[in-house]
């Protein structure tokens, strides 16, 4: 299996994205913002299809639009209800734009399918370098804000009383979620971003309440599911995205039983 360049590229790209998605997804689930990750994946689809129409790299378009969408979501709503409304409005607008761009994108049906469902076996070396740089930047910023982010996630009222700027923290974090969503979409597509960002993190939080083991478990589960999905795809000739999503859901169901 590893004799082929495209398989080695797939494992490398999936490994980078899985660890990133597991760590960022842990805080996403902890903060109750899984809906935001779902919405940003659709925002990213609009950005990617729009970029292709303009002759720009889909990854660049997805990155720019998802980060902008994440920042807007953080800026439009502080309270939970307000945030859900803001996310819903941005999700609706992005779906409308995506539909419009897809109308002009019909000549590239295969590329559109790859954006929706991922194409990990088509990742090239420059994309791997781009994903590695993106992951390093995102994790560096996440590490810098991790302590106040954890404080604000567990007890926002006390954190605000202690001087933590909740709005600024929320803006930065949702920007990181946007970056992670764009990276994850390269592997599993915009419709299955939950498979890497939410499934492993939710499973980890059901199995341990401690922060450090939870983060390690979320990243480890995401990595195992991504690599296992690619291997199963190689041996069965079924889509890798299907296997990754199935493993993510199946492992979470097992955690419920435990």
**pLDDT of 25-63, one tens digit each?**
999 999 887 777 777 777 777 777 777 777 777 777 777
| This prediction's pTM | 0.83
Each residue's pLDDT tens digit, 128-169: 998 899 899 999 999 999 999 999 888 888 988 888 888 888
Contact 181, 63 (CB under 8 A): no
Q: Which residues contact 39 (CB under 8 A, 6 or more apart)?
A: 69, 73, 87, 88, 90, 91, 94
Could you tell me the domains of the chain? 5-191 (1.10.3470.10)
pLDDT at 106 over 80: no
CB 237: neighbour CB atoms within 10 A? 7
Do residues 10 and 230 lie in contact, with contact meaning Cβ atoms separated by under 8 Å?
Answer: yes
User: Taking residues 104-122, what's their average pLDDT?
Assistant: 66
The answer to whether 22 and 223 have CB atoms below 8 angstroms apart is yes
Per-residue pLDDT, 88? 74
Task: Tell me the average pLDDT of the chain.
Answer: 83
């Amino acid at each position: 299996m590893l004799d082929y360049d495209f398989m080695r590229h797939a494992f490398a790209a999936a490994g980078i994205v899985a660890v990133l998605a597991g760590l960022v997804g842990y805080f996403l689930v902890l903060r109750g913002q899984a809906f935001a990750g779902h919405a940003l994946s659709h925002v990213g689809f609009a950005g990617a299809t729009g970029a292709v129409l303009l002759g720009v790299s889909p990854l660049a378009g997805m990155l720019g639009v998802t980060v902008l969408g994440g920042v807007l979501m953080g800026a439009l709503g502080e309270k939970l209800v307000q945030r859900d409304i803001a996310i819903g409005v941005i999700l609706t607008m992005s779906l409308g734009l995506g539909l419009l761009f897809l109308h002009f994108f019909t000549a590239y049906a295969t590329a559109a399918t790859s954006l929706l469902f991922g194409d990990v076996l088509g990742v090239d070396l420059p994309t791997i370098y781009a994903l590695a740089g993106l992951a390093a930047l995102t994790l560096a910023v996440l590490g810098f804000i991790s302590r106040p982010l954890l404080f604000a996630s567990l007890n926002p009222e006390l954190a605000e009383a202690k001087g933590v700027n909740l709005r600024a923290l929320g803006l930065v974090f949702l920007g990181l979620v946007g970056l992670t969503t764009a990276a994850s979409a390269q592997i599993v597509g915009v419709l299955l971003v939950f498979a890497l960002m939410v499934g492993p993190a939710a499973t980890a939080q059901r199995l341990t309440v401690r922060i450090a083991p939870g983060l390690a478990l979320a990243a480890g589960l995401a990595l195992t599911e991504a690599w296992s999905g690619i291997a199963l795809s190689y041996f069965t000739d079924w889509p890798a995205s299907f296997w990754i999503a199935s493993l993510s859901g199946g492992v979470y169901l097992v955690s419920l039983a435990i």
